[in-house]
Structure 1
Amino acid sequence: MSELAIPNYSDLSIQNLANTLLSHFGAVPRGPKLRLDLDINDRVVLILIDGLSYLDLINAMGNSLPVSRLYRITSVFPTTTSTVLTTLFTGLSPGQHGVFGPNVYIKEIGTIVNTLSMGPVIGERDGLHKMGYDLKKLFPIKSTIFEELGNMGIRSRVYVPKGLSGGLSRITYAGAEIVEYVTPYDAIINASKFLSEYRVSFVHIYITTVDSAAHKYGPDSEECNAVIRETVDSVIRMAKKYMADATVLITADHGHDEVRSNVKANDVQGLMRHLHVPPYGDARAVYLKLSDKSSIDELTALLSRHNVAGHFLSRDDAINMGLFGETSSNVIDRVGDVIFIPNSGSAFIYLYKPDNEELLTLRGQHGGLTERELYIPLIQL
């Protein structure tokens, strides 16, 4: 297990940041708070830069990073956006809220669901909502931080890139006013105007630039390093200029692993004889639901013959290791019988849509538990 780091749900993860924020505003936390002594005032801005690992931030900027308060915290497992955002805005662990990755098998509706779009994996965006499903029953979330603040009369607003409202946002941002922005720059300026109108308020800004570059070019690329430097520098500079009266926290959801081999799971002959449903989860955190006549050993042997190597964990082993944090029996079976975490440098991808082979060209992938994927920055300005 030498390649695997474990999320620190006890006091130094993004779940603990969520519960620190809940507690700060006077709401009841859903778990332990950060052990860091953050100095937070009544106006809080939480900026999340998707795909920015702690290691890559340090490597790209080093001593030029213009902040004095930089901490290293962990993401959750799997290290993927839908899981992290749900944790961040509910205070619940993945094992409690049930959003176990971008693709999750939900037996109640008999299909694999894309949690980012909240539709069947080969269906349309918002498909579950349009079919009449109550997302808060499928994913047991009592309330978000935005709903808690709203109950106390505190205004909150979320800024996302154009086209990203709906889908997962129906869960994670419930209770907030959602505003689509053109660039991160206008998001920061408009957020500062919103903050100035209220004595107590909360703003979240979600930025995708680093994640997009890391996926396409790989986290080791000069393209990605340039995007990190420019994004982080401009966000910090503008936040200091326009949000001087607020507490500004900057963090991320996960980092990326540099991938040299994207293995197409569809091409592994005999794989589906061992499984009830196709592989799901994420490219580097794969859930396998075994057929009645299969075992982990048989599956491991099959994949090894196709040069697919990594860590195979039973669901019980993963729970006992604390990979999902506190778990609920209502949702934990969604992770399947076996969790497969490919070795660093490789990913295991099942194409639900045969023509979606662009996924096999990505140079950066995530979901796994290398230090680069798991450790993320927390900056306080």
Structure 2
Amino acid sequence: MINEASFEALGQMRFGSSFLRPHYQGYCFAQIPGTIQSALLGSSKLPVLPTDALCLPQSCNKVLLVMIDAFGWCFLERYLKEDRYPFLNYLVERGRLSKITSQFPSTTACHVTSLMTGQAIGDSGVCEWFYYAAAIDQVISPLLFSLVNEDKIGGLTRLGVIPELVLCENKFIPPLKRHGVETLIAQPNEYRGGFNDYVLREAEIIYYHDDSSGARMLIDRMADSKRAYGFFYFADFDHAVHRTGPYSARSERVLDNIFETIEKQLWPFIEENDDAAMILTADHGATHMDPATCVYLDREFPEFLNVLRTTQTGEPIYPCGSARDLFLHVRAEEISSAKNLLTEALLGKAEVFLVEDLISRGFFSRGPVSDRFRGNVGDLVVVPYAGESVYWLGPNEEFRQTFRGHHGGLTVEEMETIFLSVF
């Protein structure tokens, strides 16, 4: 069943020609942790989704949350109409499907943090895949727990950085544990360590080499547990969308395998247990991108580096965000002129916002943002229109864009996502 109320609510969040604000007061991804707590415990101190988004058994002892990275509403709507996956249509008919918003930025690092900790972006301070962590005066990659120029997990640990300095408190898993609910997290093996070691230290992590074996291991553990929250993460669709674009043949082949795994290995457990429910969601959607048309600020406006704030060692603070949501840490006396310059230079390609304005309009949380977030996030954010991109190239072209599909911005394609609950 389709939850029409969610469509009406999101319609009120549109602004500009094609942008969408997060719906923190109702249908938003940030409300998923509280909703799961409420389903398993009867209540939650965290924000929850409206009750009309839920389709749960009367006595719910086990919840399986399945997240397909990047499988936002634009993809689900297309494949429902095409009937590409009859099983997906079956789930929609049997359960309840709501359209919800992503948070902003519409990117994985923020949403995984929210999902695992119960804290929205404006609370956690994790504000992109790359962002400036004021506590250590460095640009970092939080999920890798490394510096921006590293591609290995755990670089910050090797530098002696304690996780508490840059990662937030977990408000989601400990209450489940106190009430006898096991938290079982299934993730690809390449994510072992770093972020997970700290944020998920009170959960059992099931690392897997392929989706099929991971699904089997998670279901076996959920079957052994009296009360459990299980989480299964599909990463490969997002990877394919980045490399070959939305709706590419490669992306669709990956999606074929994902839905086969859900249908044959995850869903049977729900059908066999009348006290279990499954939730299917995605952190965000995606829009197409042409790397050949990316505007590189340091190439087009080399003097712009001079208006950036610097670290204590004198290095300009960049890159922060992505080519779909470029956050800029600008010297206070230059903020107004920098905004005017970029607004004119990027006319027809992107909008330029004052971060403080977005904070006051509730783009990052349902209430006041944390001091950690304010210290990290920057002063201006460049948000491109669909198909456009703006970023830094870097002195050695280390940030040259190659993606054919991307996310992080405020377009409807990036911001509209899904919440399907079924038992």
Compute the TM-score of the two structures, normalised by the length of structure 2: 0.83
Q: Answer yes or no: is 1:107 the counterpart of 2:122.
A: no
- Distance in 1 of aligned mates of 2:263 and 2:138: 42
What is residue 248 of structure 2 aligned with on the other side?
221
2:234 partner amino acid? I
Q: Answer yes or no: is 1:118 the counterpart of 2:142.
A: no
Q: 1:368 aligns with which of 409, 419, 423?
A: 409
Q: Percent identity?
A: 22
Q: Could you say what secondary structure the match of 2:19 adopts?
A: coil
- Distance in 2 of aligned mates of 1:57 and 1:167: 32
Contact 1:160 1:206 (C-alpha < 8 Å) held by counterparts = yes
What is residue 419 of structure 2 aligned with on the other side?
378
Which 5+ residue runs of structure 1 have no aligned equivalent? none
- Distance in 2 of aligned mates of 1:49 and 1:353: 35
Q: Which moved more, 1:7-16 or 1:126-135?
A: 126-135
Q: 1:181 aligns with which of 192, 205, 208?
A: 208
What is residue 160 of structure 2 aligned with on the other side?
132
Q: 2:385 aligns with which of 338, 343, 351?
A: 343
What is residue 258 of structure 1 aligned with on the other side?
288
Contact 2:339 2:380 (C-alpha < 8 Å) held by counterparts = no
2:383 partner amino acid? I
What is residue 56 of structure 1 aligned with on the other side?
75
Q: Could you say what secondary structure the match of 1:86 adopts?
A: helix
Gap change, CA 1:152 and 1:193, over 3 Å in 2: same
> After superposition, what is the alpha-carbon deviation per residue over 1:123-166, rounded to whole angstroms, capped at 9, x for unaligned?
4521222333332343332x242333223332221111121122
> After superposition, what is the alpha-carbon deviation per residue over 1:74-95, rounded to whole angstroms, capped at 9, x for unaligned?
1111111110011112222111
Gap change, CA 1:13 and 1:168, over 3 Å in 2: same
Q: Which moved more, 1:54-63 or 1:14-23?
A: 54-63
What is residue 4 of structure 1 aligned with on the other side?
19
- Distance in 1 of aligned mates of 2:160 and 2:213: 35
1:249 partner amino acid? I
Q: Answer yes or no: is 1:298 the counterpart of 2:338.
A: yes
What is residue 314 of structure 1 aligned with on the other side?
354
Gap change, CA 1:306 and 1:5, over 3 Å in 2: closer
- Distance in 2 of aligned mates of 1:19 and 1:236: 26
- Distance in 2 of aligned mates of 1:45 and 1:31: 19
1:73 partner amino acid? I
Contact 2:297 2:392 (C-alpha < 8 Å) held by counterparts = yes
Gap change, CA 1:26 and 1:243, over 3 Å in 2: closer
Q: Could you say what secondary structure the match of 1:360 adopts?
A: coil
Gap change, CA 1:330 and 1:182, over 3 Å in 2: closer
Q: Which moved more, 1:291-300 or 1:245-254?
A: 291-300
1:104 partner amino acid? Y
- Distance in 2 of aligned mates of 1:109 and 1:352: 22
Q: Answer yes or no: is 1:287 the counterpart of 2:327.
A: yes
Contact 1:60 1:225 (C-alpha < 8 Å) held by counterparts = no
How far has the Cα of 1:112 moved from its partner? 0.6
Q: Which moved more, 1:32-41 or 1:228-237?
A: 228-237
How far has the Cα of 1:321 moved from its partner? 1.9
Contact 1:104 1:281 (C-alpha < 8 Å) held by counterparts = yes
What is residue 66 of structure 1 aligned with on the other side?
90
What is residue 273 of structure 1 aligned with on the other side?
306
1:367 partner amino acid? G
Q: Which moved more, 1:258-267 or 1:321-330?
A: 258-267
1:53 partner amino acid? G
Q: Which moved more, 1:292-301 or 1:192-201?
A: 292-301
Q: Could you say what secondary structure the match of 1:199 adopts?
A: coil
How far has the Cα of 1:115 moved from its partner? 1.3
Q: Could you say what secondary structure the match of 1:346 adopts?
A: coil
2:285 partner amino acid? G
- Distance in 2 of aligned mates of 1:27 and 1:97: 25
Q: 1:331 aligns with which of 373, 376, 390?
A: 373
What is residue 38 of structure 1 aligned with on the other side?
55
Q: Could you say what secondary structure the match of 1:174 adopts?
A: coil
- Distance in 2 of aligned mates of 1:222 and 1:281: 28
> After superposition, what is the alpha-carbon deviation per residue over 1:306-348, rounded to whole angstroms, capped at 9, x for unaligned?
7783111112211122110131234223211111111211122
Q: Could you say what secondary structure the match of 1:331 adopts?
A: helix
Compute the TM-score of the two structures, normalised by the length of structure 1: 0.91
How far has the Cα of 1:230 moved from its partner? 3.9
What is residue 277 of structure 2 aligned with on the other side?
247
Q: Which has the higher helix share?
A: 2
> After superposition, what is the alpha-carbon deviation per residue over 1:27-63, rounded to whole angstroms, capped at 9, x for unaligned?
8634321112331520111111111111112213424
Q: Could you say what secondary structure the match of 2:67 adopts?
A: strand
Root mean square deviation, CA, Å: 2.3
Gap change, CA 1:227 and 1:296, over 3 Å in 2: farther
How far has the Cα of 1:6 moved from its partner? 0.7
Gap change, CA 1:192 and 1:288, over 3 Å in 2: same
Aligned residues: 379
Q: Could you say what secondary structure the match of 2:117 adopts?
A: coil
Contact 2:40 2:62 (C-alpha < 8 Å) held by counterparts = no
Gap change, CA 1:38 and 1:342, over 3 Å in 2: same
What is residue 3 of structure 2 aligned with on the other side?
none
- Distance in 2 of aligned mates of 1:75 and 1:306: 25
- Distance in 2 of aligned mates of 1:281 and 1:287: 5
Contact 2:34 2:172 (C-alpha < 8 Å) held by counterparts = no
